[in-house]
Amino acid sequence: MKKYILSAVILLLISSCSYDNYMEKTVFIPDEDDRNLPAYTEWGYNSFGAKYERTYFTATYDIIPCKVVYRSGILNFNISGRVGSGYNNGSEMTLTFSFPASLVGENNPMSDYKDLMVLHKKEIDLTDASCEVKLTKNSQTEVLSIFSGKLAFKRAQLLRINEKENRVILSGTFDMRFLRNELPEVLSDGRFDFGITELWNL
């Protein structure tokens, strides 16, 4: 029932403003069990969240939450937001998940956001030697030493609006355990739901 009500609300909102303006915004729907996290959705809400030690890493209204970059056969999945005590508060932070496109079955150069459909139902083992995870905070970037973790693309959908292809919606989960400054840290219960309109090919 909640899904039907939510769908109706979304349709009303979309009909009252332009599709593109609405679809670019970050929509935060609180999780029922932990209201500091967004609920897992597959609607292209441009939102994400995860527990990070005793705080939260979440999307904000003022930072583009995701940019996907393809360079020399490597796909870089960048998630940007703030880490702090509450939604839209705290220090800016970016996690960059880098992995070969061949790891998800793409052996040809990627040039368009529609190429991201290859990620549908693909799971990345972050301990794989070909993968790398970077954390950027306070203008400092460090490569994390991952000892367990995964990035799961549960669904990739090609969204059409008025019969025109508009974006790929990528939804999924992530978690990892890693060493930072020689101490173990945990990022858990991660979930994301992004509408991607551009694949940066550098």
- For the segment 29-77, what is each residue's pLDDT rounded down to a tens digit? 999 999 999 999 999 999 999 999 999 999 999 999 999 999 999 999 9
Residue 25: count other Cβ atoms within 10 Å of its Cβ: 13
Q: Domain ranges for the chain, please list them.
A: 25-201
pLDDT digits (tens, 9 = 90+) for 108-131: 999 999 999 999 999 999 999 999
Could you please report the per-residue DSSP string of 14-79? HHHS-HHHHHHS----B-SS-TTSBPP--S---EEEEEETTEEEE--SSS--EEEEEETTEEEEEE
